Structure formats: structure tokens, C-alpha cells
A and B are shown apart, each in its own frame.
Chain A
Amino acid sequence: MIPAEFDYRRPDTAAEVIALLAAQPDAKLLAGGMSLIPALKHRLLQPGVLVDIARLPGLDQVSERRGRVRIGASVTHGALERSRELAELPLFAETARLIGDVQVRNRGTLGGSLVHADPAADWPAVFLALDGEARCVGPKGKRTIPASDFFVGMLTSALAPDELLLEIELRPQRKRAGAAYCKLRQPASGFALVGVAAEVSLDRRGRCERAAVAITGVNPVPFRAAGVEARLVGGGLDAVTLGRALGEIEELDPMADLHASAEYRCDLARVYARRALLAAAERAVA
């Protein structure tokens, strides 16, 4: 648990970050370091240079304009837990509270969690369920990646090695919508054995107009349960209907480890999806 040698740089602008990444192919971005530092200590990663972006100006803001919320990549979980700007989106505080412990939440960042794409991280589910967009910058300029394209593999996001995530942006909240995150924590790491972010919006008669169910901790890549979502539209959101819609989650491709077998993860996914949907529906009505 002693890292190999590396250089350390702390540039002041995004342009300098991009230039450094371009010049040093074995560079690695350091934000909160909550996943990177342990990986360095175990020598799972041996980057030549660490580019510290934790204090890069402008990435630590949460703002809202005409209903569109933007969250800077280096906003910490702790800041999201306490954010006044996100008071209308309790999903963020609810999710943040379930991450790691106080120390981890005060250092770890939203951007770091998304880009690292740990299959059991919490934010990917929220990002997917809310159809967020990632704004990044690279040598060729800025680009936007929709959440649906963001997670491409185990520990792999769509961000190129020479790109920097600046912020995520969320579309305006729908009417009569509610969202919730339900999670079973792995007892040692606090990561999700299963985590489900659900958002539902109801029509005037209380039927499901749209449902989003995003699941983390189960598959090697977090995913949206599209089949379940489709089956939910047009129906009520009571336990019986949910049970029927969740009878099969077509996308399941479960991982297995010491803490949960594949079989258990699949069952948990169904249970937690139902719980998240019920909680979301309750908030949509309220």
C-alpha cells in the first residue's frame, strides 16, 4: 500500500489541464482522490503524473437557470448533501447521504465518481435516471455526452483520456414528478450492493406518464431498465402493478463477489427498484 513514484502538478486553468493531458499520456486526473489514491497505494495504477484539479476554479459551483441545474465536476458529495440550490431535488441529498462516510463525502466529488465509473458507485444511477448531460472539454474543444452514452464499460466512461469533465447539466423538472434513490450498502466499502434511482412523472389522473429506473451495483455497467420503464407507462404505481412490471429486468447481467452472489443481486435489484419507484411515486403525488 505504498504507491510508485509519480509527478504532481496543479494547473490553474482548464486549458492547462488539457495541455498537460495532451503532453503526458500517462497522466491521471486527481480530484477528491477517494478511489484514485487507494488504487495508487495498491499499485493498481501507476501514472507518471497526477494532475490535481480539485481546486480548479469554476468547477465547484451548483447553479440553476430557467429550471436547468448545473453541477460542477468538483462539487463534493458533502456539498451536494447540504446544497441549498438543490433543495428542489431531494434526490441529490438523499443519494449523497448514502455515500461512504463523512470524510469520504467531504473529499469525493460528483465528477470523479461519474468518470471513474465504478460499477457500484451511486451517482451513475442518479445521472442516468435524470437523463443528465455531461459537459466536457478536450483538445478539440467542448462537447456534451448524454448520460445514456456516458458509461461504456466496467470502470470506463465515454470521456477520452485527454478530456476533462466540467459539469453536468439536468433538464428542467417535469410536473407531477418525483424521484428517489434506494440502496443496500456493502458493509465494508459502503458502495452499493444494489442502488436504484427512479424518477416517475404522473398524468393528471395519477397514472404513470414516464418512468426512469437506473440500477447500479448489479451489472458491470450501470444501466436503465428500459423494459420495466416501458411496462410502467400508462398504469398505476401500486405494489401489484410494480411487481408485475418488475417480474423481469431484461438487462440484468449480475456481478458476484464475497458480499453478494449474482442470484442475490438480481433479487435485490427487483426489490430496490420497487421501493425506489414507490418512494418516487409518493413524492410525485406530494
Chain B
Amino acid sequence: MVLRPVSIGARIKRREDPRLIRGLGLYTDDLRLHGMLECAFVRSEYAAGRIVKIDSTRALQRRGVVAVYTYDDLRGEVARAPCAARMDETRDVEHPLLADGAVRYLGQPLALVVAQDRYLARDAALDVDVEIEPGPCVVDPLAALEPDTPRVYRSLPDNVNVRIPPEPEALAAVEKAFAEADGTLSLRIVNQRVAPVPLECRAVVADWQEGAQKLTVWISTQVPHQAKQQIAICLGLSELGVRVIAPEVGGGFGCKLPVYAEECLLSWVSRRLRLPVKWAETRTENLMNTTHGRGQLHDVEAAYRRNGELLALRGRIVAEVGAYASYLGGAIPTFTLLMYPGCYRVGACAFELVNVYTNTMATDAYRGAGRPEAAYAIEMVMDELARKLGIDPVELRRRNFIAPDAFPYQTAGGATYDTGEYEAALDKALDRFDYSGARAAQAEARSQGRLVGIGIATFTEICGLGPSSNANPLQRTGTWESAQVRVEPTGNVTIMTGASPHGQGQETAFAQLASDAFGVGIDDVRVVHGDTDVVPHGVGTFGSRGLVVGGTALHMALEKVKAKAAAIAAHLLDTTPDRLRFDGESFSVAGAATDDGAERRMTFREVASAAHLWNVPVPGQEPGLEAVARFEPEGTTFPFGAHLCQVEIDRETGQLEIQRYVAVDDCGNIVNPLLAEGQRLGGIVQGLGQALCEQVVYDETGQLTTATLMDYAVPKATMFPEIELDSTCTPTPLNPLGAKGIGELGTIGSARCLMSAVHDALAPLGVAPVEMPVTTERLWRVLREAGA
């Protein structure tokens, strides 16, 4: 008997890459449909104002221009832009597909030009005569909460989207803890607004077929099935008549989770013109009008005991939702509330959450979506507390960790953690980093006047959404995931997953699961995704759920198919399924041999063939070999990690050098370590980018200073040392794969880890904690003010 090499756990290269690297991937903007027209948006040049006129006469005179649409054309035809997170119905505001009378943020779409090609469309867009009477605007979220401040909506004098007070019981517990505490600590903590900047900007192609009464929409999206539902609702169509296809998607990081006004509008235009239409976002549109992330300001107070035990947290979180509530934007900060206690035994937690409207682009999910903000805050509390008490930050964390035997653990934030071995991950990281050696070297460097800092972050996050009880009813779907497995007569396998990937590598990892289940080669497995007409209804890829929820659904479908295959094999081998063994490639009968002494066995491929030939029917079984499964998680998973880094700051210029970065992450069982490492490296660097250089900057008139990549600083490979990766493995009991999710984990810890090192480097100067991003000038100012 030959045992096949097991593919799960193997470092298999991404099957997607050969086509993507050679430019052979098909992205939405690569589509060329017969008769297709292209579109350009006329967007508001003001952050706030009243539309006096939009005159498209001149634009329509241009040859090759087919139509120019404004809100007047849409009136009564379409509903508002999709929003699934209406946090407070009494404060709900509508975001029209094109501006209706008022503009509320820079770049708000005013009109859509449709022309023979994108060049003509852009020329004509510049010909549309727009007159806007600028109005007062408010950009700063704290200013927006002041009385007598400009209003984003006349109906909401306080600019509040939702105000969620702390639960009374939580508040009582917190007050009690504060009364008993030895001391308290107050901090203001800012997570600046950043732009997701996927390599592929957004793009939409909509194609209405009048004869079939069918709309097909190609979108660069993370959630094709949700997009199908929302577009159908917006246009008042039957979902049967809408098909959404997400072809190759070049990165999303959360910003392709919202279903956007542009996607609905293009769909409407195609139906109106009975022609295919395309819009591909420019990079400036992407920076200006694709949802931003983060944008939170915390005022937090911590109560502690002299021995460093953290007792309770309270405070207020002000979150920027922007000028309108994006698809899930309003709900993102609730994850911050949920995850505030991090990996510590915090007895009580009570926060007020205030979502604020400002005249800026809407915010929504961005890699981590609310959890990096929580991790940043609690880790900063830990560091500042360690400094205040004169306890080493590592020791302080040890004193507060949730113990490994305390799981499942109900936190004061309201989450139930599945498993965790926080100290083990931390020990591994400390060992790899040579923490005590690094501290000794730091002391030496400090004695020479050098600004060397060591940063630490130990963190956990919530992954693998559902259960569906967490889902928002307006999302029209739960948070389970679907998978279909279809075995062809040849034994080749087609997998269909509702977890539509946008760079995660599902085509590789999911094929590995099937390969091991059936003993077929990876190349004999095809993974299909992103087409709502082909793939059973699914939910999408976000919140590090691809493998955890989608992979588990696949695992279940594979098991169903395997059970049927075993029944067929048992029948053909004249035995019962319980006497069958599967050695990774074929079924055999335990201990039995045929009359001529050969083992009674059938390969999986032979069973697949038999299942379709069906010349030996199994009583009560249909022909064929396929199954659909849906996984509804019982709970969420909580991967975790411990990161350490070392920085040095140039005293003269403020220039920061990251000298070392060690990351020990634990995402439970891993299907493909190569994919997991890619996710971690990308995630870590994305978090470091926020700490180091990324920021969306609006001036006080609501103009965007960072509207090109010449001014919006994305992190570059040259800014970092080699990131040293290690891991521990603490599986979750919540799914049979034992996987916890890895897409966001790096981002959760890394921004804070770097800032922890920066604050540590500056500690000898006695300055207040500097905020992100730590640009050279910001550090230079701190150094100068400290007289360094």
C-alpha cells in the first residue's frame, strides 16, 4: 500500500500566480463586450454645497457622447445606495446614487457621462457645466460634535450617526472597579484615517440583455452574492434577473466589501441604454472615493492595582463614518468595543461609541476592521501602565494574560474566546528576539545618547464570522458559507465556493483540501468562485473567514461526497462501508482478499466512474457524485500573536529605522504555510504602513491633500528589514479544520508594535506619546521640543 503525500500543511506555490504574474489574469477592466460604452463621473469639487446647476448641453454635443445622467434621471427609478448597517433608524440618512441638490463630500458623483470610450467620456465630463454654491463644511470629527458647527445633514444638528451608551451593568462594574483601584491612567489614542489602496482599483461592467431580461454585472468585489442582492434591491429587479461575476480581484482589504453606488448606477444605465457599459476607477478616484479605513479617536481611562493588574477600562470612542454611512461602515467600530480587552483579564469595560458624520469620504472595513484600533488602544494602555509602574512591559503582560486553561473565556468586551496560549507565543517571540540581550544593548545605546526603542504587542482578534446571529438583517444573508463539490466521471473535481477570493489563494488551499480527501492531484481539482449564476449562494471573503468558514463548508461537502463514494465502493466490493479503509487514494476491505489472493480495492477514480456509469446500482442512491454543504459557525475564532520590534531614531533628522521585526502568530492549523506567510507579511507591512507613513489628509475646506500616490505614502519594501516569522499552533475546537484565520492578524498587531518601539525610544526624553504616522518631521518636532 502506497500512502500519498499529504497536501495539507505543504508549502505549495499559488496556482493562481503563473497567470497573474504573466499578465494573463482577466480583471474587470480587461473585459471588452461588443458595443460596450465607457463612463466617466463628474464629481463634486467641493466638500459641501448646494447644486445650482448641472448643464450637460456642451458635453452632449461632443461626438461619441451617448448620454449624461444626473439625479433627475434617477428620480423614482432606483433606491438609495446600499447600506446594511443602519445603526440608528431615527438618524438614518440616504445616500443617493448621484447627488440630489446637495453635495456633502469631495468627489461625490454629480453626473455620469456615457461615451464611445473612456477618453471621450473624460473629455465630455470636463464639458459638463457644474455650478455649486459652496457651503460651510466640517472635516474634523471632534469639531463636528461641537455645538454651532456646520451640519452635514440639516436634519441632524449634532452630526451624530449613532450614539451607543455603555450597558448600565457594565458601567456599574466599571465604577466599582475604579473605586477599588490603586490608580488610574488616562490616554487619548488616535487611529488616523487611511486609504486601503488595492493594486486594482474598483471597476464595473454592466450588461443588460433585453431579450433575456437579464443583467450581468462584473465587479471587482469581495462579495458577489451580496452585490447581486443589493443591486436587485436598488433597481427593483428580481434577483433571478441579476448575475454578478467577480473575475480576478486585485486586492480588497475591506474596501471592496461595500456594495457601491457606482455599481448600482452602471447597472441602471446598462438597462436604460440596453448596452454594456464600463467604468474603471482612476487612482485619484480610488484615493478620494473608495471607502477609507480606521479614523477613530479614543479617550480611555484604565483602573489598575499596584501590582500591575488591569481592573477596568472606560471611555469614549469617536468614530468617523464620513459623509454617509457606507455598506457596513457604521458597524465597524462595534468590533473595537468587542475586542477592547485584548488578551487580558480585564474585569470590566464600559465605552460610549459615537459615530460622527463629517464632510469626508465614508469609512468602512479595512484589514482588521475595528480590531487593530482595539489592539492599538489596549496595548498602548499596557505600555503606558508599565512605564508608570516601572514594570517591564513583558512582565506586565504576563501578569494580565488570560490563562490557557480559562478558555472558552467570556470577556468584559462581550466576546467568547475559543482558545489561546498567549504566553507561549510571547515566550517564543522573546526567545527569537533575544529580548534580554536586546534590552542590554538598548541600555548601552542609550548611555551613548542614541534613541533605540524596543516595541511589543501581544494581541488577539475576532475571525471567522458568523455565527449568523451577528449578521445584519439588511445584509440579506447570514454569515455562514457555502461549498459545492462535484466529482466528474473521470474523478476530476470541481469545487465551488461562496468565499470569493481577492488574492488570498483559495484556488490553491481549497484544492489541497480536496486533494487530500480524494487522493487526486492538485491539478485535477478546479476551484470556481465569484459567479452567482454558477456558485451556490454564498457570503464572501472578509474578516479572515475564507478558510475558517468557507474551507469548513468545503470540508463538509468533501466528507459528504466521500461517504457516498464509500457506499458505492462498499457495494461494488461486496462489503459494508464500516469495513472499508481509505488509504488516501483507494478504498479497500480490511483484512479481505479475493479468491486469487489480490486485495479487494477500488481507487477513488474508479468509484467516480462507477458512480456515473451506474451499471451496478446501489439501492437508494442517485447516480452521480456531488454535494453541497453550508457551514454555520457556532462561534467565532480568536487567533493571536506576539510581535517584537526594534527601532532607532536619528536625533538630528527624526528619521526612523526599523532594525528588527519578529512576529510569532498563531492561527491554529495551517493548510498551506506559504500562503499563511504571505498573508502575514502583507498584513504586518500594511499595519506598519499606518504607523510609519500612511494618512488621508483633508484640509479644513474638505479638499484632499493626499489625492495621488505622490502624496499618499504607501509602505515600500525598502522601508523594512526582513520580517522574521515564527508561529505557534493552538487549534480552535469550533471547526473540524482547527483553523482560526490569518488574513488580518499581522495588521492587528504591527501598527502598535512599531509605535510601542517608538514610544520606548523616546521614553528617556519624557515626551507625550507621539501619534501615527511617525513621519520624520513629526519625530523631528518632538525631538526639538524635548531639546534633544
Contact = CB atoms under 8 A, between A and B. Distances in A.
Q: Are A and B subunits of one complex?
A: yes
A184 B776 CA distance: 9
A23 interface: no
B775 interface: yes
Contacts of A186: 713
A101 B705 contact: no
Given A2-B122, A258-B705, A184 B653 contact: yes
A97 B126 CA distance: 40
A5 B711 contact: no
Interface string A234-260: 000000000000000000000000111
A141 to B, nearest CB: 38
A261 B118 CA distance: 38
B707 to A, nearest CB: 10
Contacts, number: 59
Nearest to B715: A187
Majority SS at the chain A contact face: loop
A189 B282 CA distance: 18
A85 interface: no
Interface string A3-25: 11100000000000000000000
B126 to A, nearest CB: 8
**B interface residue count range (under 10 / 10 to 19 / 20 to 34 / 35 or more):** 20 to 34
Given A187-B693, A259-B777, A260-B777, A1 B709 contact: no
B598 interface: no
B319 interface: no
Contact of B706 (A1, A41, A258): A258
A2 B120 CA distance: 10
Nearest to A193: B776
Contacts of B126: 43
Interface in B162-199: none
Interface in A60-116: 101
Contact of A189 (B652, B697, B710): B710
Nearest to B201: A1
Interface in B260-314: 282-285
B644 to A, nearest CB: 24
A188 B780 contact: no
Interface stretch (A126-134, A211-219, A264-272): A264-272
Q: Which residue among A187, A193, A259, A260 has the maximum number of chain B CB atoms within 10 Å of its CB?
A: A187
Given A259-B775, A271-B653, A188 B118 contact: no
Contacts of B153: none
Interface string B677-697: 000000000000000110001
A41 B709 CA distance: 13
Contacts of A258: 697, 705-706, 711
A188 B653 contact: no
A21 B775 CA distance: 44
Contacts of B775: 187, 259
B453 to A, nearest CB: 20
A5 B708 CA distance: 22
B283 A1 contact: yes
A101 B716 contact: yes
B777 A189 contact: no
A189 B706 CA distance: 12
Given A267-B780, A268-B653, A271-B652, A188 B711 contact: yes
Nearest to B125: A2
A6 to B, nearest CB: 10
Contacts of B119: 2-5
B655 interface: yes
A2 B118 contact: yes
A234 B328 CA distance: 69
Nearest to A41: B282
Nearest to A3: B119
A201 B24 CA distance: 55
Contacts of A187: 692-693, 713, 719, 775
A269 to B, nearest CB: 11
A189 B40 CA distance: 27
B714 interface: yes
In the A-B complex, the 8 residue pairs with the closest CB atoms:
A1-B282, A188-B713, A187-B713, A2-B122, A187-B693, A189-B710, A264-B777, A271-B652
Given A2-B118, A188-B706, 20 more contacts: A1-B283, A2-B40, A3-B119, A41-B282, A43-B126, A184-B653, A186-B713, A188-B709, A188-B710, A188-B714, A189-B709, A189-B711, A258-B697, A258-B706, A258-B711, A259-B777, A264-B777, A264-B780, A267-B780, A268-B653
24 contacts: A1-B285, A2-B40, A2-B119, A4-B123, A38-B708, A41-B282, A42-B284, A101-B716, A184-B653, A187-B693, A188-B693, A188-B706, A188-B709, A188-B714, A189-B709, A193-B776, A258-B697, A259-B711, A259-B775, A261-B777, A264-B777, A264-B780, A264-B781, A267-B780
